A and B are shown apart, each in its own frame.
Chain A
Amino acid sequence: MRSKKAEMDVEYNVEDEIVSSDDDTMSVDSEFSTASTVKTPRTVSRLKKETTLSRTPSVSSAKKPKASLSRRSTFSAVKSTPSMQKRAASKIDQTSDALSLYEKARIKLHVANTPDCLPCRDKQFSDIYNFIETNLRNQTGGCMYVCGVPGTGKTLTTRQVILCLKEGVNDKILSPFKSIEVNAFQVTEPHQIYKLIYKELTGENVSAEHAVTLLEKKFEHKSNESIVLLVDELDMLCTKKQDVLYNLFDWPYKKNSRWIVIAIANAMNLPEQVMSKISSRLGLSRLIFQPYTHVELEEIVRLRLEELNVFDMDAILYAARKVAAVSGDARRALEICRRATELAERDTSKKEGKSLNLVNIGHVDQAVKQMFSSAKITLLTHASKMEKLFMKAIILLYQKSGMEETSLNRIIETHNFLCRAENMQPLNRTQLLNVCCSLASTKLILLEPCKNIYLQRVRCNMSVDDIEYVLNDNK
């Protein structure tokens, strides 16, 4: 299963780490100072288009580092908001002496590190931007449904939009608004989201039940401030009655309401699954984040590394292709690359030479194997010889009969046969029962209880390929 909650925790922790490591004064990279002249988001988006155009045809020339470097710097200067650049730059700069190139690359590649720029999401950025901006200017409410599989930059893009709009407020182009971000993972039960929203809005702690009535009260009077509500991981808020979803999307439609709700979810067909009155309110402003292609993933990693020259370009491409074929998840691509730098660093320190090892395809491949080989494979790799033979007996029987389940009796027979074939003393029944139980306790095999212990059905809980892979590897 996707363990998003765990992922989030990790992100937060590391963010703390990074932030706490910089305590000196801020220094702004000269390269970025040009950006401060670019103020209005409109010009940003126009310039963005130009840079995208000039960028796209030359992807194949990415291997020429010099050319791509200059393109990169102009791109990032135009693209991101000034304050973000300050933050990102200061994080890296102050630590520059202490950290090795590898470490710098790893910080840059960390998913929790907000990138200096947001490549490949120009259209989505401007769609969300225009939607919120129009509603802010017209003092109206509205809702937008943003969906796409994990790691496609939904949360990131939306946050950037809000940051960008906030900057518009600072520059007095827009009137002030309030923004609230809630994540359904922050609550244990869907209705608690009201409590969270109310707390973010007013700072007061009230019960969920009370919070919803208080929120509804707010709509009786015309408010003089727009509220942008970002609800992340909306899928988690589905209840049987769907009342939470209904309320979230009904608020923007209340008379004089100035709520702008941006709902982020994974499922693309959610609007078709909910009650018709909810999908009616959800409207047609649906924005889909497609999985990244390998070209986009490569660019994302490359732009993060900027001038740090630690990666072999082929290695990035390899990682990008690997991820794009399966999920197109940027988070994953970044994690693989980060792990690969660790492996490369280890190689360098072993070599004891001064020269730096570039991260190459071999490192990436190794990283992929380490990260995604399952716990079961590791378990079996470290299992005892007899346990391995037990598994081997199961797959032998499976290959012979084609049935997924076999009785323990037949396995014992086969096990004895295998032992003799390998010149080992066969185990007695009780000993084998112990082996069987220990395998079952690690869930490598599944048992279906039966009165007669030796007649109980056994099936392996791991793919045959994986078992063969481990067994053949150890010979």
Chain B
Amino acid sequence: MCSVKEIYSEAKKALNASATDRVVGREKENDEIYDYLASCFGNKNGLSVYINGQPGTGKTFSVNTMLDSLKEEFKFNKIFLNCMSVKNIQNMYKTVLSEMISNKIDSNLAMPKRCTKESLQKLIESCITSIKHHLVLVLDEIDQIETTIKNASDIYKLFELPYLPNSKLILIGIANSLDFTDRLLPRLELTPEHKPKVIKFLPYTKDDIINIVKDRLSKVQLMYDNCVIIDDKALMLCASKIASTNGDIRKVLDICRRAIELNEQEAKLTNLETIKTVNIAQMMKIFNAVNPITNSNLDRNTMPLMQKILLCTILLCNIETKVKEVTLSKLFEKFNKICKSYSTSVDSESEFVNLCILIQDNGLIEVKKAKEVRNYKLSLKIDEQELRDKLQDETFMADILTNRAYK
């Protein structure tokens, strides 16, 4: 018999995003990638593949796992580069080249003394057309190069690299934006055969999600005489909720982990000998807790009084002027008037500005800066009616909002 704590701990560990190296599901997409790559390794030519899909749909994970398993079948080198930290094309070529050198892809390769864009590109070109084995270059978050590499011809050259005569480069781009291929690539005017093969990773469906979580937990369950960690209904709830939004597996794993944590806390109070199963009520509780709409202090009813009065004042100003923006000086004046009749006050203008910033931190308003503080422009970031309803819950605020004297 093992300790209950150990099971919980193992379960949480299994649900950590990077805890596994087995891809569950995604057979169709993986087969497609495999076919492309295998044909390419056989034919001794280059290729470019572009993979897109929403965050947390397993793109990076699938590609990395696939390449690791291909290592057993084919001989090739792999360079993985995340375009997020790439500053410009030169910087990118340089990183690729230094990776090539450190991976000893070509023994004659050395970093040139002067790293101009052209010289770096020449070197890479000559290298990929003369190497014996294929080189797989994975460019993760490739849609970011659009913001950093302004010159379309540079991107064009990059996408043409696999199609140089004798090129042994396989370029795999991974990104979120679905329209990267539709929008950017036509501009590049690549010839039809040089267009990257596009593979879409659709968001995970309910069944995919259930399979992934079950697979991760199954190992733990086997280890500890088949105890059930998350019950089917609870898992179903989680899967269908996430599948209906964006199918992000990171969110699923996070929620399941938190459900287990909650369960552990509740179980501690009863001192059970065996592990309790996460039930649907607990899963519901987690979902309610992570709902981003209940984030601001206003929703949690912890917002300081003055900040609530300020929100009322903005509402009143908007109603009065029928304009959505109000200047800070105007607001301050009205605010003081209201405060005075309830015999409170803020002590100075800078205090008032501070108050505005605090509400901005809550995400309820936007403060547009201007040269002079008094000309700052404030506008509501949530629906007027919604805010009104929230404020009206309290008699004090309702009083301000309905009092004719302030209108």
Contact = CB atoms under 8 A, between A and B. Distances in A.
Nearest to B350: A374
A64 interface: no
B254 A327 contact: no
A291 B296 CA distance: 11
Contacts of B332: 463
Nearest to B148: A241
Give the dominant DSSP class at B's interface: helix
Interface stretch (B150-158, B222-230, B276-284, B298-306): B298-306
A138 to B, nearest CB: 4
A373 B144 contact: no
A250 B246 CA distance: 19
A155 B193 CA distance: 56
A74 B329 CA distance: 50
A137 B12 CA distance: 11
Contacts of A280: 55-56, 248, 250-251
A462 B349 contact: yes
A283 B254 contact: yes
Contacts of B305: 324-325
A285 B250 contact: no
B348 A290 contact: no
A285 B16 contact: no
A272 B84 contact: no
Interface in A213-228: 213, 216
Contact of B349 (A2, A271, A277, A466): A466
Contacts of B297: 149, 268, 290-291
A134 B9 contact: yes
A348 B248 CA distance: 65
A211 to B, nearest CB: 10
Interface stretch (A8-16, A251-259, A299-307): A251-259
Contact of A257 (B18, B21, B336, B351): B18
Interface residues of B, number: 65
Interface in B72-119: 82, 84-85, 87, 91, 95
Interface string B353-377: 1110110111100000000101000
Interface string A239-271: 001010011001001111100000000111101
A285 B258 CA distance: 8
Interface in A141-171: 141-142, 149
Given A141-B18, A290-B297, A290-B302, A326 B346 contact: yes
A328 interface: yes
B272 interface: no
A286 B16 contact: no
B353 A1 contact: yes
A376 interface: yes
Interface string A311-349: 000000000000011111000000000000000000000
Contacts, number: 162
B255 A268 contact: no
B306 A463 contact: no
Contact of B363 (A267, A324, A325): A267
Contacts of B306: 325-327
A307 to B, nearest CB: 31
B213 to A, nearest CB: 15
Contacts of B354: 2, 327
B344 interface: yes
Nearest to B86: A243
Interface in A460-475: 461-466
B254 A368 contact: no
B349 A463 contact: yes
A51 interface: no
A22 interface: no
Given A140-B13, A253-B17, A272-B363, A464 B250 contact: no
Given A267-B361, A290-B297, A327-B304, A461 B374 contact: yes
Contacts of A277: 55, 141, 176
Interface of B: 9, 12-13, 16-19, 21, 54-56, 64, 82, 84-85, 87, 91, 95, 141, 144, 147-148, 176, 246, 248, 250-251, 254-255, 258, 261, 290, 292, 295-297, 300, 302-307, 329, 332-333, 336, 344, 346-351, 353-355, 357-358, 360-363, 372, 374
28 contacts: A138-B9, A138-B12, A140-B19, A141-B18, A142-B16, A149-B361, A209-B91, A212-B85, A213-B95, A243-B85, A253-B17, A255-B64, A266-B361, A268-B297, A269-B362, A272-B363, A276-B54, A280-B250, A283-B250, A284-B255, A284-B258, A325-B305, A325-B344, A327-B307, A368-B347, A372-B350, A373-B348, A374-B350
Given A1-B353, A254-B18, A280-B248, 18 more contacts: A1-B357, A138-B16, A241-B147, A250-B82, A268-B295, A268-B362, A269-B296, A276-B54, A281-B55, A285-B258, A291-B302, A324-B305, A326-B304, A374-B348, A375-B350, A376-B348, A446-B374, A462-B374
